[in-house]
Structure 1
Amino acid sequence: MFSTWQQVPLKASWGRVEPGAVLLFTDDEAVVVDARRSPQERSKVRLRIQRPNGERFERDVKSGETLRAQARALLPHGEYRAMALPAVIWHEDALFSPRNVAALLASAVVTTTFVVIVSRGSNAFAFVYLAFLIAGATAMAVRKRWKGGKLTLMAPERLGLTMATVHDYALTREAGKLWVPPTPGSDRRGLAVRRVAAIRDSYLALREDIAYRIECSALFDPKVPATAVFEEALVAFEDVTDLTPTDEVDALATEVELAFNVAQANAERIGLSHLPEDKRADARRAGKAAHLAAGAATEGERQASLAQVKRILDSLALYYLPTIREKPALEA
């Protein structure tokens, strides 16, 4: 078994995956594959497969077969990858779903046509038999062409994951970017604005976290090159107007995302080493006190820890560290 959204090695066998679902994908295509032990042959694994266009089918494979083999069979040539998915709920077509109704209507039209022909012919039984055969084949052809069947990914609703978005989510997660779920009817410009807004909200939330600002202070120091690049990207996006081409807006939003990810990763890697060496011990004590304040059981304990944090930060007097006057939120 693999953790949800974990990259799964393509050399892994379906016997290791089942029971579970994976997304097999390249940069351009993806399929959801739900693996379960075959009810007919326990030595095999039944794969239930769905493409983004709604096409759904099943196949049994040997439990030792690798994911790579199915990726090659199901996807066009490309850089194959696999990612573990949360539980999948498969929804079957309702009796009177548009897909089934279309198939029934097609069958009825064919049957009626042949009944008319039968009324003019002599061998009624043969014509009726042939009519039902052709009507059945027509209905099956209509159902196959009219893709149906939906599935639900058991993921937080805020992610907005569907068959239409799960591939984009996997690519976004793989690239280490923040995911902003698209809304129906949203255009690229609106989505770019929301992406940057999500970055800004995330940055402000970190800025309001006293412990984080102490322990990862480089993210809030504009003299750090990576942080400076991030702030410049934010400023550049602020200059976007209605006349800015959509491709440029999208590119500027991507620059903000990448710059933020780099700046945050850099700050977390450096940690307290960003501070002057003679101030690190005090900063470490301030960080611990901030964590204590965040997890305090009583208001008195919280105030005592905050007072200690304030004393230490005032003595450090570093412009990129928080001050208690800012009333930031304390989070564990």
Structure 2
Amino acid sequence: MYATWQQVPPDTTWAGFAPGAVLLYNDDEAVVVDARRGQKDKIKLRIQRPNGERFERDVKPGESLGAQAASLLEGSGARAMVLPAVIWHEDQLFSPRNIAALLASALVTTVFMVLTSLNSNPMSFLYLSFMIAGAAAMGVRRLWKGGRLTFLAPDRLGLTMGTIHAYALTREAGKLWVPPTPGSDRRGLAYQRVDAIRDAYLGLRGDIAYRIESPALFDPKVPATAEFEAALVAFDDVTDLTSTDELDERATEVELTFNVAQANAERLGLSHFPEHARADARRAGKAARLAAGATTEGERQASLAQVKRILDSLALYYLPAVDEKLAIEK
């Protein structure tokens, strides 16, 4: 058995995992999969995408979670995270989605009934009309996504299909999750969320030791960092005419790209530096830590001077200039 929110190796088989719910995801998208043991040595998967699309698949017990993730997600880097129990909510009989499908079917049937009365072969034409009416109803149901699900998790997490992907990335990165507040002003909350990211980013940017140890976060040539900066620019372009849904989506994009960029930078660490600069960068990082933890002013000044000398000699555009105020300076 796996614990909730535990990462599951992609080569884990469905037989070794089921029964249970899992989030298959990469940096860009995610799907919820509920695995149950079926009949005839099969594992039945119930799958839902964030847009509401829901479908089922039967897989062999020996198939891996990673193989299914590859077929469901675009791109690479798929991971799997155990979810709490999921409650699947079905559409009511007279839900708007079902009524729309019935109306579409009735409209098509009516049109073809009129045409049938004018046709020389009414029976075959009538059969065709019912076939097309059924297809129209199915088309409406496919376009109008339905079905909700509930995660049996604490309400304070605010987990929905709209937030589960962001939560997984945030948890994976070891960051603090700030859920959307129900009933709050969505527009105001979107700005608050982005402001929180800006504050966190500026705090890291002002931390000289962090900038040395995770420089990729401040290098716009790194794809993950470039995507974060692009998301910030896109959010800055919003106006009062921007819809609330789009504003919320852009704020979510800022959060997701920041978490990905930060995790990528911390993973790369000093390896982001040119090979010839890594030894000096490592010395600068140690000196920065010594300056931050110095117990006397003399020690702090000596370490700080060493940091500045090394940074000046490296002269890399993504490191702070010697005249830039550093977080360790008091």
Q: TM-score, normalised by structure 2?
A: 0.58
- In structure 1, distance between residues paired with 2:128 and 2:146: 28
Aligned to 1:81: 79
Q: What's the CA shift string for 1:47-81, capped at 9, x where partnerless?
A: 11111111111111111111110011110122111
SS at match of 1:8: coil
Question: Any gaps of 5 or more consecutive residues in structure 2?
Answer: 200-208, 211-232, 237-250, 267-292, 294-330
Aligned 8 A contact 1:180 1:194 in 2: no
- In structure 2, distance between residues paired with 1:76 and 1:117: 44
- In structure 2, distance between residues paired with 1:196 and 1:160: 22
SS at match of 1:23: strand
- In structure 2, distance between residues paired with 1:137 and 1:84: 37
Aligned to 2:272: none
Aligned to 1:182: 180
Aligned to 2:24: 24
Aligned 8 A contact 1:88 1:153 in 2: yes
Aligned to 1:161: 159
Which of the two has higher C-alpha Rg?
1
- In structure 1, distance between residues paired with 2:144 and 2:118: 34
Aligned to 1:308: none
Aligned to 2:53: 55
- In structure 2, distance between residues paired with 1:192 and 1:126: 61
Q: TM-score, normalised by structure 1?
A: 0.58
Within a 5 Å distance, the mapping from 1:85-234 to structure 2 comes to: 85-183=83-181, 185-186=186-187, 187-192=189-194
> Match for 2:139: what amino acid?
A
Within a 5 Å distance, the mapping from 1:30-69 to structure 2 comes to: 30-38=30-38, 40-41=39-40, 43-69=41-67
SS at match of 1:28: coil
SS at match of 2:62: coil
Residue 103 of structure 1 and its aligned partner are, at CA, apart by 1.0
Aligned to 2:271: none
Aligned 8 A contact 1:26 1:79 in 2: yes
Percent identity, please: 62
- What is the number of equivalent residue pairs in this alignment? 211
Residue 120 of structure 1 and its aligned partner are, at CA, apart by 2.2
Aligned to 1:72: 70
Q: What's the CA shift string for 1:236-277, capped at 9, x where partnerless?
A: xxxxxxxxx976x979xx79xx9xxx9xxxxxxxxxxx9xxx
> Match for 1:28: what amino acid?
D
SS at match of 2:186: coil
Q: What's the CA shift string for 1:1-34, capped at 9, x where partnerless?
A: 2100011111111112111000000000100000
Aligned 8 A contact 1:180 1:195 in 2: no
Question: Any gaps of 5 or more consecutive residues in structure 1?
Answer: 198-224, 227-244, 263-273, 275-332
Residue 196 of structure 1 and its aligned partner are, at CA, apart by 10
SS at match of 2:21: strand
- In structure 1, distance between residues paired with 2:109 and 2:26: 44
